[in-house]
Structure 1
């Protein structure tokens, strides 16, 4: 690599360098600083993300390939990095009070979130199976540790152990697929794989390798049949980490899926049929199993599974509209899911966890404005107009119909109707039940600001959905 190429590579990856460097500095400061200065680590972490976001937007004017084709800074990666920045900063804001209540407010908590962010950013820009693996593992290792951060809680330890074991298995599957693809094509770069293979039908070994790569990726989004880790991990992890994992790593996995699945090598295989089956099975399992849940976090875990299935339908549709619909879906899901998790987080105060649905009985009578915010999030998750969640699902369905997948669209609508029941059930508990206790939400200015921002974003995108869809289309295709 020449000096000029090295400089261009460093420039293209400057936001990632900023995040990693900032995380290292804050880690050192956290070890040597006083315990009463942990607030500095929080605001320092937020400033690191904001600086990285500024650098990302400044570099968005042109496409910048880097590191001999293993990395690229383009509009597609910029879109996803902005989603990651929102998810991370909002998680920081929600964590300030919650971390103190749970006794996990150490500097390592925020530093691990920054390292997880850097892994997600690498995944969004990776154009090589090996660089995808590096970003994937950097993100995964941090989330493993964060899941078990409640060291005195048996369920948190159990969740972390399950996550590590199943995550390691999925990584092994992914790497085995990479080895098969490399053995047959002689390359791991996404662009070069398609040109390395010609002829029809596709080589059976190569098809098997693609299937293994797909399996390793869909595990990260919690799709069936690789969903078994989601409920236990979401329930056992600290609620702030559950909120973060439900949006950030999921969006990062979808960024990789879109890059890999839109490769002509994959498009010419029969993997699309498998993906359609996975999407329907994921929506069905998530929707029906959520109906019987009493734990709020566990219900949101199955809700996350169902939403992953719906987003995968956009991948099946493909094309300009399909890809843009997935990107818009992930942006909307980030705000509405962080919002509803923020509502759960604010209930954690003293000995009260607020993790049961029944805990919210009559909440509207004592806190009508907070109940209204929860109503907005739940309606958006259910896909009820005029919230952003409705239009996110609508554009996915439009992309499916335009590609001729009418039956898939009908199935998606029916399963969405099933899913709407358990969201409306929570609304009924909030508005139509008598209070069972005195509510004392842990409302700090940061939590208030986070809830207000996510609600405004959920409504705002719902009022101007076409604008955000065009932004997603431009990010995916440059126009």
Structure 2
């Protein structure tokens, strides 16, 4: 960054979108729509450049910025810190890049809300970047609320439609309640330590055995994060929100917002609680919740025919895998999750935009109603490529993250988790592949009409002002960029030695709690890291990716061509599946009950599991 100091990049990554949002809101009163589009997209591009340069700088050591120059003295501070390492700066860069693509796709969107829509998207970006980069727990809450408030408004953007209003309301109520629980946990920590900074609280808790108050404070503090991450059983809001949110908004929510919840969980535990709350208890609890989340997401995904809900449940299933990767609590596990998130974001974002194209052209995203109508143009092949990437096909992006996570699980003495990664990739990738083959190529048997309920009725309304007869170049360009980005994450990192070593170093830096505290509290130099384990393809990783892709093809084939007799016998499982579907009722009271049950279950798990030496 020749004209921007490294320490200025983090504040600018938050400030630029906020200023641009204000300009877009004011300019929309007199400026033509294309100018507002260019302003918003340009601001997101500048932010992507800033965060990308910040990521590169962070590979040489954390970039620590004390706003207002209020740096600490002797480990004590009153200022607010932004601490960028390769993982959180990379997440901010990912959020900025996805926002660029979402805004590019939106050039033909929401004419009636021009300016307001752009301002909300840019404020959403500012909230995500601030949430990722801040080193202060209270500021995490503030940016969490900014991110949430704009996401609620964007989800319910078409407020005149009952389903849009319901999806946005469920999203707002559940996540707001979870945020209030997190605020209570923050208050408990402040009462115990008198500090709000992550490093300061971590130093105050370090070396002391965790009592019940610390464990409860940990659980409450992370409830908002794991709810945002859609960890089961706090996940119910996600599919309802994705079903009604505009496709570009789904790109941001599914591609990076929910992943930021996993990041926050990892950051808060590693920096604040890892020296107090036993690692063994955290590992066992979150592996269990990760497996549960992956299982629920898989079953709901493969039994969906509404494309946006199918993709949303696929995201829930992959969040389960990300939680498992975190729960390993090793640098290699963090590296695997980071690479997985990068590949998943591009692929899943492209799938949501392709669903948006189908909706705007055919006024439906129902797999049965779209049978054979998608055609064999570019969207068809992009959809099928994305499905194969989601299944873990080497050397594409999600496949490398999956392989690295499996290797990390094996190194941690948990090789059986590789089967979970393979099965989740196979089922979710197979469900998406099945939908693509049926919608675009007309393969398989026709689905009968679906009986609409209050959750799905009326969702299929075009998101453009007029129905599309052809795909606008800007929309197709956004899809292509996302697919290429998701694919390149695995090809570049897995095959270029320098990038493989950099990815491995990112995981080590993230796990280095002592280095974080030393730089933030005492202004010390970056600690030299041990030689990184390069994040490259291995023979076992390639084999695992091939197996999961073949299994995904089998899942798709069984769904498309299962003989009628076998389909009749398979209906014996229907009551269990229907029971799981009924739990996703759309009633906010049910979702609140599951949120509280999940928080209580997590607290009981951490208090009941045998304690080991803090790790």
TM over 0.5: yes
Q: Equivalent residue for 1:373?
A: 382
Instruction: State the alpha-carbon separation in 1 of the partners of residues 115 and 350 from structure 2.
Output: 24
Kept after mapping to 2: 8 A contact 1:347/1:442: no
Residue 336 (structure 2) pairs with residue 325 (structure 1): yes
Residue 151 (structure 2) pairs with residue 143 (structure 1): yes
Residue 247 (structure 2) pairs with residue 245 (structure 1): no
Q: Equivalent residue for 1:51?
A: 46
Taking structure 1 as the reference length, the TM-score comes to: 0.89
Kept after mapping to 1: 8 A contact 2:168/2:241: yes
Residue 406 (structure 2) pairs with residue 397 (structure 1): yes
Instruction: State the alpha-carbon separation in 2 of the partners of residues 469 and 138 from structure 1.
Output: 34
Q: How far 1:456 sits from its partner (Å)?
A: 2.3
Q: Equivalent residue for 2:105?
A: 94
**Structure 2 counterparts to residues 129-140 of structure 1, below 5 A:** 129-140=137-148
Q: Equivalent residue for 1:4?
A: none
Q: How far 1:201 sits from its partner (Å)?
A: 3.7
**Structure 2 counterparts to residues 7-406 of structure 1, below 5 A:** 12-30=10-28, 32-34=29-31, 37-59=32-54, 61=57, 63-67=63-67, 68-100=79-111, 104-198=112-206, 201-263=209-271, 265-266=273-274, 268-269=277-278, 270-349=281-360, 352-363=362-373, 366-406=375-415
Q: Residues 61 and 198 (structure 1 numbering): CA distance in 2 closer, same or farther, change over 3 Å? A: closer
TM-superposition CA deviations, 1:150-175 (whole Å, max 9, x none): 12211001111111111111111111
Q: Residues 332 and 11 (structure 1 numbering): CA distance in 2 closer, same or farther, change over 3 Å? A: closer
TM-superposition CA deviations, 1:324-377 (whole Å, max 9, x none): 111111111111011111211112336x3231112442257x324321111011
Q: Residues 17 and 182 (structure 1 numbering): CA distance in 2 closer, same or farther, change over 3 Å? A: same
Q: How far 1:400 sits from its partner (Å)?
A: 1.2
Kept after mapping to 1: 8 A contact 2:87/2:338: no
Long gaps (5+) in structure 1? 1-6
Q: Select the structure with the greater relative contact order (CA < 8 A; seq sep ≥ 6).
A: 2
Instruction: State the alpha-carbon separation in 1 of the partners of residues 468 and 8 from structure 2.
Output: 49
Residue 471 (structure 2) pairs with residue 431 (structure 1): no
Instruction: State the alpha-carbon separation in 2 of the partners of residues 105 and 450 from structure 1.
Output: 21
Kept after mapping to 2: 8 A contact 1:362/1:434: no
Q: Residues 455 and 230 (structure 1 numbering): CA distance in 2 closer, same or farther, change over 3 Å? A: same
Which moved further from structure 2: 116-125 or 191-200?
191-200
Residue 482 (structure 2) pairs with residue 454 (structure 1): yes
Instruction: State the alpha-carbon separation in 2 of the partners of residues 197 and 336 from structure 1.
Output: 40
Q: Residues 441 and 85 (structure 1 numbering): CA distance in 2 closer, same or farther, change over 3 Å? A: farther
Q: Secondary structure at the match of 2:368?
A: helix
Q: How far 1:432 sits from its partner (Å)?
A: 4.6
Q: Secondary structure at the match of 1:349?
A: helix
TM-superposition CA deviations, 1:145-202 (whole Å, max 9, x none): 1111112211001111111111111111111111122222222222222321255641
Which moved further from structure 2: 421-430 or 238-247?
421-430
Q: Secondary structure at the match of 1:39?
A: helix
Instruction: State the alpha-carbon separation in 1 of the partners of residues 404 and 182 from structure 2.
Output: 31
Instruction: State the alpha-carbon separation in 1 of the partners of residues 131 and 503 from structure 2.
Output: 18
Instruction: State the alpha-carbon separation in 2 of the partners of residues 239 and 56 from structure 1.
Output: 24
Q: Secondary structure at the match of 1:318?
A: coil
Q: Residues 236 and 373 (structure 1 numbering): CA distance in 2 closer, same or farther, change over 3 Å? A: same
Q: Equivalent residue for 2:587?
A: none
Q: Residues 342 and 469 (structure 1 numbering): CA distance in 2 closer, same or farther, change over 3 Å? A: farther
Which moved further from structure 2: 331-340 or 381-390?
381-390
Instruction: State the alpha-carbon separation in 2 of the partners of residues 423 and 8 from structure 1.
Output: 41
TM-superposition CA deviations, 1:353-407 (whole Å, max 9, x none): 231112442257x324321111011111222334322222111111111111223
Kept after mapping to 2: 8 A contact 1:325/1:469: no
Higher helix proportion: 1
Q: Secondary structure at the match of 1:263?
A: helix
Which moved further from structure 2: 417-426 or 56-65?
56-65
Q: Secondary structure at the match of 1:247?
A: helix
Q: Residues 203 and 257 (structure 1 numbering): CA distance in 2 closer, same or farther, change over 3 Å? A: same
TM-superposition CA deviations, 1:18-60 (whole Å, max 9, x none): 2211211221111x315xx112111101111222233334555
Kept after mapping to 1: 8 A contact 2:48/2:97: no
Instruction: State the alpha-carbon separation in 1 of the partners of residues 6 and 444 from structure 2.
Output: 62
* RMSD across aligned positions (CA): 2.5
Long gaps (5+) in structure 2? 68-78, 447-466, 510-528, 530-615
Q: Residues 84 and 386 (structure 1 numbering): CA distance in 2 closer, same or farther, change over 3 Å? A: same
Instruction: State the alpha-carbon separation in 2 of the partners of residues 385 and 427 from structure 1.
Output: 20
Instruction: State the alpha-carbon separation in 1 of the partners of residues 226 and 259 from structure 2.
Output: 12
- Max radius of gyration: which structure? 2
